[in-house]
Amino acid sequence: MEEGFAIWANPSSPHAEGRKAKNALEDARDRVKKSLGWDGEVIFTSGASEAAALAIAHAKVDRRAVSAVEHDAVFLDGEGSFDSVMPVGENGRVSRGEIYEALAVTGTSPNDGRPTTLLCQQHVNSETGACFNVSGMHRVLGNFHGCLMLSDCSQSAGKLELPSTDMAIVSAHKLGGPIGIGALLVRDYALLNPTGGHERGYRRGTENLPGAMGFAAALDAGGWLTTAEQREAFFASLGDARLSFAGQVDYIGAVAHPTISAQALLIKLDAMGIAVSAGSACSSGTLKKSRVLDAFGIDDKTAKRTIRVSIGWNTTQQDLERFSEAWVGLT
């Protein structure tokens, strides 16, 4: 990022300094694509929220469908524009039947070509750690001519292999990069209506070159300070306190205390130097029941005692042991 700050010019400027900035930006773009294994295009944004807004507003479709457990960045960006909301079934699975029903509501039929639909389905849920079979859902969409899949991969990019999808949302700070930079991965620019401006005409505002370079550097560095076995053992040690969902990842969990409210838990754990949350960061400032936990079918009493525990790239085994000790003390 320091190297990026030293390149002061606008990457769209035609002079020598601008060309230098452009070369650095394209190098960062290529590194992001290579690290994520993405063979399509990369549009740098200010983060996941902007990437979601860009995709939802400018995808070349007539209708839009969304799963009920999407992050607020997706769910609220499309508020009023979603024609169908897909419920999640047992243990948080979205069935083939629910996909077909959502597409039927939007008026899409197999291979008829009109109207086309954008189906929004996250890869990993940020509050529960449930992992969805996005690639399988994308295959189902292959039976519907012109339908597109948008997957929020903010919680999986750099940690899991990207699923098969037409567009993906990624965020740098979720994988050790800087805040204020993310990207919309798109299979082909032709899937979007251009807005004019930078990023091949698909985004307004000068590109954040230091952020893009920091994003690429974080992906290049990769790695965890804990192993998959340590992370799995940590959640296993919490027993039934961790709510169970389909295909859970080993770095996010919804954990319910038997008696203490989530808000009280946050205060107690914060006093011990442990940072957790209740719900997503975009909505955890409220005292309302989590919309996501409600959609997953968690009863009100349990939801009020549930916190989100996540393990970052820089979390150590000592951190996990400290949380376990604190949890035992609180229970």
| DSSP structure class, residue 161 | P
Angle at 166 between CA 165 and CA 170, to 5 degrees: 75
- Strands 252-256 and 306-310, sheet pairing: antiparallel
Name the residue among 75, 177, 126 with its Cα closest to residue 284. Answer: 126
Q: Is the pLDDT of residue 280 over 60?
A: no
Looking at residue 78, its pLDDT comes to 58
Looking at residue 284, its pLDDT comes to 47
Least confident among 51-55, 121-125, 213-217, 244-248: 244-248
| DSSP structure class, residue 9 | S
Residues 172-181 have pLDDT tens digits of: 999 999 999 9
Q: Is the pLDDT of residue 287 over 60?
A: no
Q: What is the mean pLDDT of the chain?
A: 90
pTM of the model: 0.92
Q: Which residues of 208-247 are buried (b: 16+ CB within 10 A; e: fewer)?
A: bbbbbbbbbbbbeeeebebeeebbeebbeebeebbbebbe
Confidence class of residue 285 from pLDDT cuts 50, 70 and 90? Answer: low
Looking at residue 220, its pLDDT comes to 95
Are the C-beta atoms of 4 and 209 separated by less than 8 Å? yes
Angle at 229 between CA 70 and CA 261, to 5 degrees: 50
Distances (CA, A) of 250 to 77, 127, 151, 184: 29, 13, 20, 25
Mean pLDDT of 1-18: 93
Name the residue among 180, 206, 199 with its Cα closest to residue 58. Answer: 199
Structure tokens at 130: 């449930």
Distances (CA, A) of 217 to 175, 185, 315: 11, 18, 19
Are the C-beta atoms of 253 and 236 separated by less than 8 Å? no
Residues 130-149 have pLDDT tens digits of: 999 999 999 988 888 779 99
Looking at residue 112, its pLDDT comes to 59
Contacts of 76 (CB under 8 A, 6+ apart): none
